[in-house]
Amino acid sequence: MPTSVGQWPKYRKNIAIEKLKPNKKLLAKPMINAENCNHLFAITQMNSTFLDTENKFYTHKGHFNAQNLYFFSFAFAALVLMPIYYFVFRGYEFDLFSYVIGFMFVFPFFIAYPLFFNYKPDNNNFTHFPIRFNRKNQRVYFLDMQGKFQSGNWQDMKFCIVQPNSFQGDYEIWGFILNKESQLIEHTVAIGPPVPSIELLESFWGMICIYMAEGPEKLYPKDIKSLENDEYKIFSKVTFCNDIVGKKESREFSYYRVDINSFGSKFFYYLRLLILESVFWKWGRVYAMWNCKVPMWPESILKDCTIDKDDPYIVNADINKYFHYDAKSRKVYIKDTDIEN
């Protein structure tokens, strides 16, 4: 049976991993050097106890709402603006029958479909679906698509890179909790953002594996000045955290987060700006964050994830004040090098 709270695609259960035709299986151990890691804007916080990441849907939160705004804009233009233009300013005689026919054509495709079929993926669920990697007890915790918290052993879970939508072309990291007897899939979690490159996912996966095997020291930005003007070094450390721990995104951060989705390509940045996608996406993301609820880890998981008071490797959204990821220029700028080490 698929599991979903409206997100897409739905995950399949009680099947073998091979049925998903994975592009590459991933090992739960470091396979690359720390210098080749990439945070892919998917980290929420890091410390010596756990590393929090986001699932695939957080990256594109609000995009379905953006699509709906396109639909509604067309409906508004066809049912309101065009009649005003022709019947008021051009002096055409109002034809109720023709208007009803036009309404019957526009309503199911551009009003009913967005409201009844394209609304749920972004709205009335959770602001994000967190994933937590606990290196001290070697467990992975996550909120599944049914709104339930799941837990699996890091070494027992299976991970792979899949391409669930060949038309879209993006690859994703999926993790699986398997039934101990049948070895069939019981729970699935999509880790980090969908991207068009397997190599990028491998660099992100490398960051997670290094953390789980060796701890946060190699990923911690000890000296900001040493990272200046070196984009690869900046991405290989936890130099960005999504500002959503225990709260909803602010409007400003939602706007910034949408822009970041175009960081790797100036072409897509200007294309989205030209066709108003980035504008609609920002509005749609703000609305989605407003009507969704913030996920809260249960007490049982919080007890397993206690942070040491003297932990020297705590990184959270405060790190964002030192870096600015400019999607327009595709550059990372260090805003302030006065950081406590």
| Structural domain boundaries, residue 77 | 65-116
- Predicted local distance difference test score (pLDDT) of residue 141: 98
Length of the chain: 341
On whether residue 141 sits in a domain, the answer given is yes
In this structure, are 106 and 29 located in the same domain? no
In this structure, are 74 and 181 located in the same domain? no
| Residue 157 reports pLDDT greater than 70 | yes
Residue found under tokens 């709104």: 147
Average model confidence (pLDDT) for the chain?
89
End position of a domain, from candidates 80, 96, 116: 116
pLDDT in tens, 22-76: 999 999 999 999 999 999 999 999 999 999 999 999 998 998 999 999 999 999 9
Give 166 or 256, the one with higher predicted confidence: 256
In this structure, are 111 and 128 located in the same domain? no
Residues 265-294, mean pLDDT to the nearest whole number = 85
On whether residue 288 sits in a domain, the answer given is yes
On whether residue 281 sits in a domain, the answer given is yes
In this structure, are 86 and 195 located in the same domain? no
pLDDT confidence of 278, banded at 50, 70, 90?
confident
The answer to whether the beta carbons of residues 161 and 198 sit under 8 Å apart is: yes
How do 149-153 and 139-143 pair as beta strands? antiparallel
In this structure, are 70 and 98 located in the same domain? yes
Q: Which amino acid is at 95?
A: D
Whether cis (ω within 30° of 0) applies to the bond prior to 130 is no
Dihedral of alpha carbons 53, 138, 205, 318, sign? positive
In this structure, are 231 and 101 located in the same domain? no
DSSP 3-state of 305: coil
Neighbouring CB atoms inside 10 A of 182's CB total 10
Q: What residues does 195 pair with on adjacent strands? A: 171
The answer to whether the beta carbons of residues 336 and 321 sit under 8 Å apart is: yes
In this structure, are 76 and 151 located in the same domain? no
In this structure, are 111 and 200 located in the same domain? no
Domains contained in the chain, number: 2
For residue 235, give the nearest of 32, 34, 38, 35 by alpha carbon.
Answer: 38
pLDDT confidence of 7, banded at 50, 70, 90?
low
| Residue 5 reports pLDDT greater than 50 | no
Residues 79-94, mean pLDDT to the nearest whole number = 79
Cα distance between residue 293 and residue 49, in whole Å:
26
- Exposed/middle/buried for 56, CB within 10 Å: 0-12, 13-18, 19+? buried
On whether residue 4 sits in a domain, the answer given is no
On whether residue 218 sits in a domain, the answer given is yes
In this structure, are 31 and 52 located in the same domain? yes
Residues 266-276, mean pLDDT to the nearest whole number = 72
pLDDT in tens, 88-121: 777 777 778 888 888 898 988 889 988 888 898 8
On whether residue 32 sits in a domain, the answer given is yes
On whether residue 9 sits in a domain, the answer given is no
In this structure, are 24 and 80 located in the same domain? no
In this structure, are 227 and 201 located in the same domain? yes
On whether residue 163 sits in a domain, the answer given is yes
In this structure, are 294 and 263 located in the same domain? yes
Q: State CA 90 to chain mean position distance.
A: 48
